């Protein structure tokens, strides 16, 4: 398979620099984790077999047990239900630290007691009531409080809670976790509440090696919800205190809540040493940061630009082209280290070309992405747009419909599909589309406009007939 890039010593050298910077970033994050108040976990013995079973009553009752008891309470106590996900979907290439497709583990029993769940939840709710919130999840559709701002929970983690969860993570993912241990990149308590419009989290990967999620609510407190696992095409709803563990690179989402309140504890865990397979995610993040910084600078220039006089387009300020190249270089380095196995990188390259008006090239990249993951709603929706731009409206509709099958709440795909059906005068199709759209989608102003247009055309036609 031909690599897209990388020739010449100068570029290769820069790749090496980028990789070194990733390793340094990992070390800096580990140090930062300590500053936030998380002590790393170092294992003192080889991982016990995952079949080891200890009595549930040993788990997590004593607030400050002696060390030996603490260690015992930290054995991976319970078996897990395992869901298989092809490990190539992690996009880590042949250096993937996970050596199996058994990548989604849901414990068969609680690993946190009811009392522990309630205590953590209570502290999180106190912090939220005081107005604490982080923007870590970068979305308005849920609320989250960082664990490092929750002293009681932090202490509970120190006193054995973290060792318990990390031991479990180690038993589930032995190939990725060495004796040198694990540390918490971030911990969050996330609240979803249907009545407050906090209903979900979009599909994403987490910025760590392993993700561990424990519902603090009982499943009877909400409808819908759960953790949506894209490659399974399914939401997993766990009972209070059970743990869901998966590689952070499994694409997932906070599943749509249809009622009630769901509160979860999430720990993002990293291994002592960074695995080579993690370079891709860090390089992609670099590219995204460079892009975001360039966007911000452009917006600032626009805001600060004198409104009068001149009339000529400003020349790009010195350095901007270099920044663009840096973004591209990072994406290409990421492609190289992941051996072109990560569909998100092809998506990014496609979106970048699309933004620059290079629709053919965008489609070429999107197709490479689609070969690796044909269920990504954003990708499919963008492919629809590209198809339309290239004069293929029927293909565009097919892509929009596939995007909607993958994500029935995708407003962009709904709107683009609806607008195109209107343009093609396929009014029955438009009517059916609007009727199928969930209320949340129809509440969006652009969807309201589409519905109004359809109605006014229908009225005109009715009047013409009568």
Ligand X SMILES: O=C(O)CCC(=O)C(=O)O
Write out the residues near Fe ion by the rule CB under 5 A. 206
Asked whether position 243 contacts ligand X by CB under 6 A, the answer is: no
Nearer to ligand X, 147 or 264 (CB): 264
Q: Tell me how far, at minimum, the Cβ of 249 lies from Fe ion, in Å.
A: 11
Torsion of CA 394, 399, 404, 405, to 10 degrees: 110
CA 215 and chain centroid, separation: 18
Q: What is the Cα gyration radius of the chain? A: 25
Q: Of the two residues 184 and 190, which places its CB atom closer to ligand X in the complex?
A: 190
Comparing CB distances to Fe ion, the nearer of 186 and 332 is 186
Helices (H), 108-218: 114-129, 151-156, 162-172
- With 0-12 CB in 10 A as exposed, 13-18 as middle and 19+ as buried, what is 310? exposed
Query: Do 216 and 144 touch, CB atoms closer than 8 A?
Result: no
Question: Residue 242: how many CA atoms within 13 Å on its side-chain side?
Answer: 18
DSSP-assigned beta bridge partners for residue 188? 146, 266
Cβ 223 to ligand X, closest distance in Å?
14
Cβ distance 182 to 166 under 8 Å?
Answer: yes
Which partner, ligand X, Fe ion, none, binds residue 254 by CB below 5 to 8 Å per kind?
ligand X
Residue from 160, 254, 260, 277 binding ligand X (CB under 6 A): 254
Do residues 352 and 288 lie in contact, with contact meaning Cβ atoms separated by under 8 Å? no
Can you tell me the distance from the alpha carbon of 218 to that of 215, in angstroms, rounded to the nearest whole number?
Answer: 7
Q: Does 190 bind ligand X (CB under 6 A)?
A: yes
Smallest gap from Cβ 278 to Fe ion, in A, equals 16
CB atoms within 10 A of CB 429: 16
Judged by beta carbon, residue 208 or residue 416, the one nearer ligand X is: 208
Nearer Cβ to Fe ion, position 206 or 230? 206
User: In this complex, which beta carbon is closest to ligand X, that of residue 230 or of residue 326?
Assistant: 230
Helix (H, G, I), strand (E, B) or coil at 395: helix
Give yes or no for residue 330 binding ligand X (CB under 6 A): no
Q: Does 176 bind ligand X (CB under 6 A)?
A: no
Separation of alpha carbons 231 and 300, rounded Å: 40
Does 191 bind ligand X (CB under 6 A)? Our answer is no
Q: Count the neighbouring beta carbons within 10 Å of the beta carbon of residue 300.
A: 10
Handedness of CA 335, 339, 345, 351 (dihedral sign): positive
Is residue 148 within the footprint of ligand X (CB under 6 A)? no
Cα torsion angle, 31, 34, 38, 41, sign: positive
State yes or no: residue 278 binds ligand X (CB under 6 A).
Answer: no
> Shortest Cβ distance from residue 117 to ligand X (Å)?
15
Q: Minimal distance in Å, beta carbon 190 to ligand X?
A: 5
Helices 9-36 and 279-304 meet at what angle, rounded to 10? 90
Nearer to ligand X, 143 or 368 (CB): 143
Q: Min. distance of Cβ 388 from ligand X in angstroms?
A: 32
- Minimum CB separation of residue 185 from ligand X in Å reads 11
Q: What is the nearest approach in angstroms of ligand X to the Cβ of residue 238?
A: 9
The answer to whether 208 contacts ligand X (rule: CB under 6 A) is no
Q: In the bound complex, what is the minimum distance in angstroms from residue 281's beta carbon to Fe ion?
A: 13
Report the residue closest to Fe ion, judged by CB.
206
Shortest distance, position 206 Cβ to ligand X, whole Å: 5
Angstrom CA distances, 82 to 130, 169, 359, 371, 391, stand at: 39, 13, 41, 26, 45
Q: What angle do CA 433, 370, 416 make, to 5 degrees?
A: 25
CB closer to ligand X, 93 vs 254:
254
190 binds, among Fe ion, ligand X, none (CB under 5 to 8 A by kind): ligand X
Among residues 137, 217, 338, 381, which is the contact residue for ligand X, using CB under 6 A?
137
User: CB 171: neighbour CB atoms within 10 A?
Assistant: 23
221 vs 444 by CB, closer to ligand X: 221
Least spacing, CB of residue 436 vs ligand X, in Å: 26
Q: Which residues have CB under 8 Å from 38's CB, separation 6+?
A: 148, 154, 157, 162, 183, 184, 187
Q: 40: which 2 tokens?
A: 């790393």
Q: What single DSSP character describes residue 108?
A: S
Report the residue number, 215 or 418, with the smaller CB distance to ligand X: 215
Interacting residue with ligand X among 22, 33, 80, 201 (CB under 6 A) = 201
Task: List the single partner that 213 binds among ligand X, Fe ion, none, CB under 5 to 8 Å by kind.
Answer: ligand X
Is 206 a binder of ligand X (CB under 6 A)?
yes
Site size toward ligand X, by CB under 6 A = 11
H or E element that contains 262: strand 257-271
- Identify the H or E element spanning 446: helix 445-465
Does 227 participate in binding ligand X (rule CB under 6 A)?
yes
Is the CB of 171 or the CB of 188 nearer to ligand X? 188
The binder of 227, among ligand X, Fe ion, none, by C-beta within 5 to 8 A per type, is ligand X
| Residues in touch with ligand X (CB under 6 A) | 137, 188, 190, 201, 206, 213, 227, 252, 254, 264, 266
């Amino acid at each position: 398979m031909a690599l897209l890039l990388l020739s010449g010593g100068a570029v290769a050298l820069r790749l090496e620099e980028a990789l070194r910077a990733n390793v340094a970033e990992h070390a800096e994050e580990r140090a930062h984790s300590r500053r936030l108040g998380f002590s790393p976990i170092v294992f003192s013995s080889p991982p016990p077999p995952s079949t080891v079973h200890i009595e549930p009553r040993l788990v997590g009752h004593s607030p400050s047990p002696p060390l030996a008891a603490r260690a015992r309470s930290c054995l991976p106590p319970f078996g897990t239900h395992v869901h298989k996900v092809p490990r190539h979907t992690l996009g880590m290439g042949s250096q993937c630290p996970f050596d199996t497709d058994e990548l989604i583990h849901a414990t068969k029993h609680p690993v946190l007691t009811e009392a522990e769940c309630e205590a953590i939840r209570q502290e999180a709710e106190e912090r939220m009531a005081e107005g604490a919130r982080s923007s870590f999840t970068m979305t308005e559709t849920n609320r989250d409080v960082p664990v490092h701002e929750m002293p009681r929970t932090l202490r509970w983690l120190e006193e054995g809670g973290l060792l318990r969860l990390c031991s479990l993570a180690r038993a589930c993912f032995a190939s990725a976790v060495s004796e040198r241990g694990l540390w918490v990149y971030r911990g969050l308590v996330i609240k979803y509440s249907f009545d407050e419009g906090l209903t979900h989290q979009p599909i994403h990967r987490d910025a760590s090696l392993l993700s561990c999620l424990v519902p603090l609510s009982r499943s009877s407190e909400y409808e819908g919800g759960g953790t949506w696992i894209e490659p399974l095409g399914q939401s997993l709803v766990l009972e209070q205190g059970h743990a869901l563990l998966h590689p952070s690179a499994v694409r997932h989402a906070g599943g749509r809540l249809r009622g009630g309140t769901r509160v979860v504890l999430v720990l993002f865990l990293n291994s002592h040493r960074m695995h080579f397979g993690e370079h891709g995610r860090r390089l992609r993040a670099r590219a995204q940061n460079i892009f975001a910084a360039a966007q911000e600078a452009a917006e600032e220039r626009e805001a600060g630009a004198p409104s009068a006089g001149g009339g000529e387009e400003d020349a790009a300020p010195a350095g901007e082209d270099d920044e663009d190249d840096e973004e591209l270089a990072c994406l290409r380095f990421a492609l190289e280290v992941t051996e072109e196995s990560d569909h998100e990188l092809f998506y990014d390259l496609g979106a970048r070309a699309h933004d620059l008006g290079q629709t053919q090239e965008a489609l070429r990249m999107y197709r490479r992405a689609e070969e690796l993951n044909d269920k990504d709603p954003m990708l499919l929706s963008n492919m629809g747009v590209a198809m339309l731009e290239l004069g293929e409206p029927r293909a565009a509709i097919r892509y929009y419909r596939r995007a909607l099958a993958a994500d029935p709440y995708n407003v962009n795909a709904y709107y683009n599909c609806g607008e195109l059906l209107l343009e093609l005068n396929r009014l029955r199709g438009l009517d059916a589309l609007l009727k199928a759209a969930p209320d949340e989608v129809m509440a969006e102003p652009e969807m309201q406009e589409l519905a109004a247009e359809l109605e006014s055309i229908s009225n005109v036609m009715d009047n013409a007939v009568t």
